[in-house]
Amino acid sequence: MDAQKMGIQRELVTVGIQCIKDHPLSLSDIRAFRNKMIPNGNDPKCFVACLFKKIGVMDNMGMISPAKAKENAKKVFKGSEEHQKNVDEIMEKCSAVNQQKTNDGKKGCDRAKLAFGCFTENAPKYGFDFDF
């Protein structure tokens, strides 16, 4: 799992660097993310939406996409049925945020904030505890 965790973190950093150009984060924003909290403001939640879209958790319509996440999990967790199953379960659970009304449509920033909350709350239950 350590090699996989490092690979995932490396991917998140690479994608994060791309997203931070369009959605700058302050040092306090980064500290909040490290504490698994999403900071207030537009840039932090739009940064998360950018990240989710680039890693396939969110589609271009700003909706959480369990099918795409499942596809990506197969590549990331090759040979680990348990991790793939856990990704499926957490995605199904957190895709419930798709039913909630948001104000920014396809941008997905509001929905990304809701999903981030769901993922961070539920990740430990499914054996995922990533540091940002």
Domains in the chain: boundaries: 2-126
Express each pLDDT in 15-53 by its tens digit.
889 999 999 999 999 999 889 899 999 999 999 999 999
The pLDDT of residue 39 is 93
CATH of 2-126, one of 2.40.110.10, 1.10.238.20, 1.25.40.10, 1.20.1260.10: 1.10.238.20
Biggest CA–CA distance in the chain, Å, is 40
Specify the pTM: 0.85
In the predicted structure, residue 1 carries a pLDDT above the cut 70: no
Which tokens go with 88? 């499926």
**Residue 31 identity:** R
Q: How sure is the predictor about 79, in pLDDT bands with cuts at 50, 70 and 90?
A: low
